[in-house]
Structure 1
Amino acid sequence: MAKKQKAWIHVGMPGAGDVVELALAHHHAALVELGVASLAQSTAESFRAAVEMTRSHKDWGLKRADVEGQWTRLVRRASKSRCDLVFSQSLLAAATAEQVALLVDALAGHQVNIVVTTGLDDEAAAVAQWQAACRKPERLHVIETDGLEPAQVWKAFGKLVGFGTASLGLTGLPSASAALQTLPEALREVERLARRNASLEVRLEELDRKRRKLKRRLHSAA
C-alpha cells in the first residue's frame, strides 16, 4: 500500500509562532525541493483560505465570493506536487468544530497532523478542538514558544514536519523581530495590520480580475 502524504496544519496566535506562515510562503519553492509543499504561496492566499474556513469574511470587509473555494483550490494545487502539505494561519485558532471538520474533509487521503504553538487566549480549548482532526493522539503536536526566538520556533516546526531550516533563513520577514516578543499588545496590532493588508490585497486582485474581464469584453465588441 502506498504511503499516505502527510498534511501539517499549524494553529497559533500572534507571537513567536507567527513566523511560520511568513516563512512557509517566503521559502515555498525551496521547500518543494525538500518534499514539502506549502498550500499557500503568499500570505494573501493563506489569509483568504483561513477567512473562508472560519467564515469571517464580513469581519474583514470581504464578500463570500471573494474567498469561496479558496481552501479546496489550494489543496488541489499543492497535492499535484506529490509532496507532504503544510499550512499555517493564526485565524484557524478561532475555528469551530464544524469548520475544523470541513477543513480536514478537503484533506481526504492525507495523514493529518496538527501543530499548535502556545500563546493562545484559550490554549486548552484550541488543543481540544483540533485534537478531533487527528485520528491518532500522537499526530497532535504542541510547541511551547515561551522564551523562544522566532528562528527557534521555525526550527522546531521544521523538525516536526521533516525539513531543516539552516538554509531557510528569516531575513526580510517582518514579524521575525525578537524585539516585539515582550510586547503582546504591539504584536496583536502588527497582526491586525498584517491581516488588513492581506484583505486589501485580496480586494485589489478581485478588481484587477474585473478590469481584465471588462477589457476582454471591450476588445471583443470592437
Structure 2
Amino acid sequence: MAKKQKAWIHVGVPGAGDVVESALVHHRAALVELGVASLAHSTAESFRAAVEITRSHKDWGLKRADVEGQWTRLVRRAHKTKSDIVFSQSLLAAATADQVALLVDALAGYQVHVVLTTGLDDVAPAIAQWQAACRKPERLHVIETDGLGPAQVWKACGKVVGFGTASLGLDDLPGASATLQTLPEALREVERLARRNASLEIRLEELDRKRRKLKRRLDSAA
C-alpha cells in the first residue's frame, strides 16, 4: 500500500508563532526541494483561505465571493506536487468544530497532522477543536512558545514537520525582529497590519481583474 502524503496544518494563537505563515511563503521554492509544498504562495492566499474556512469575510470587509473556494483551490494545486503539504494561519485558532471538519474534508487522502503553537492565551479550546481533525492523538503536536523568539519557533515547527531551517532564514520577514519577541501586544499589532495588508491585496486583485476585463471590452469595440 502506498504511503499517505501528510498534510501539516499549523494553528498558532497570536504571538511568536505568527512567523511560520510568512516563512512558509518566503521559502516556498526551497521547501519543495525538501519534499514539503506550501499550500499558499502568498500571505494573501493563506489569509483568504482562513477567512473562507472561518466564515469571517464580513469582519474583514470582504464579500463571500472574494474567498469562496479558496481552500479547495490551494489543496488541489499543491496536490499536483505529490509532496507532503503544509499550511499556516493564526485565524484558524478560532475555527469551530464544523469549520475544522470543512477544512479536513478537502484533505481527503492525506494523513492530517496539526501543529499548535501556544501563546499567552488559553489554548485549551483550540486543542479540543483540532484534536478531532488529527484522528489520532499522536498527530497533534503542541509547541510551547513562551520565552521563544520567532526563529526558535520556526526551527521547532520545521523539526516537527521534518525539514531543517538552518538555511531558511527569517531576516527578510516582517514581524521577525528581535525587538518584538517579548512584546505580545506589538506582535498582535503586527498581525493586525499583516491581515489588513492581505485584505487590501485581495481588493487590488479584484480591481485589476475588472480593469483587464474593461480593457478587453474596449479593445473589442475599437
Task: Kindly indicate whether the alpha-carbon contact (under 8 Å) linking 2:120 and 2:146 is maintained by their aligned counterparts in 1.
Answer: no
CA contact 2:16–2:187 (8 Å) conserved in 1: no
Q: Which residue does the alignment assign to 1:159?
A: 159
Given the two structures, how large is their TM-score scaled by the length of structure 2? 0.98
Question: Identity across aligned pairs (percent)?
Answer: 87
Distance, in Å, in 2 between the alignment partners of 1:178 and 1:10 is 22
Counterpart CA distance in 2 for 1:161 and 1:184 is 25
Q: Deviations over 1:7-62 (max 9, x none)?
A: 00000122111110010000001100111000001101100000010000000000
Tell me what 2:46 maps to. 46
- Which segments of 5 or more consecutive residues in structure 1 lack a partner in the other structure? none
Q: 5+ residue gaps in structure 2?
A: none
With over 3 angstroms needed to count, the CA separation of the structure-2 counterparts of 1:56 and 1:120, relative to structure 1, is farther
Q: Which moved more, 1:22-31 or 1:112-121?
A: 112-121
Whole-Å separation in 1 of the counterparts to 2:88 and 2:49:
10
SS in 2 for 1:153: helix
Give the match for residue 80 of structure 1.
Answer: 80
Counterpart-to-counterpart distance in 2, 1:188 and 1:155: 21
Deviations along 1:66-111, one digit per CA (max 9) or x if unpaired, are: 1111000000001100010000000000100000000000000000
1:73 partner letter: R
Match of 1:137 in 2: 137
Equivalent residue runs for 1:172-191 within 5 Å:
172-191=172-191
Answer yes or no: is the 8 Å Cα contact 1:43–1:198 preserved in 2: yes
Query: Any idea what SS the aligned residue of 1:122 has?
Result: coil
Task: Count matched residues.
Answer: 222
Three-state SS of the structure 2 residue aligned to 1:133 is: helix
Alignment RMSD (CA, Å): 0.9
After TM superposition, give the deviation of residue 120 of structure 1 in Å: 5.8
Indicate if the aligned counterparts of 2:11 and 2:90 stay in contact, CA closer than 8 A: yes
**Shift in Å, 1:181:** 2.3
- Deviation readout 1:97-140 (Å, 9 max, x if unpaired): 00000000000000000000011633011001000101110000
Any idea what SS the aligned residue of 2:40 has? coil
User: Is the Cα contact below 8 Å between 1:9 and 1:88 reproduced in 2?
Assistant: yes
Taking structure 1 as the reference length, the TM-score comes to 0.98
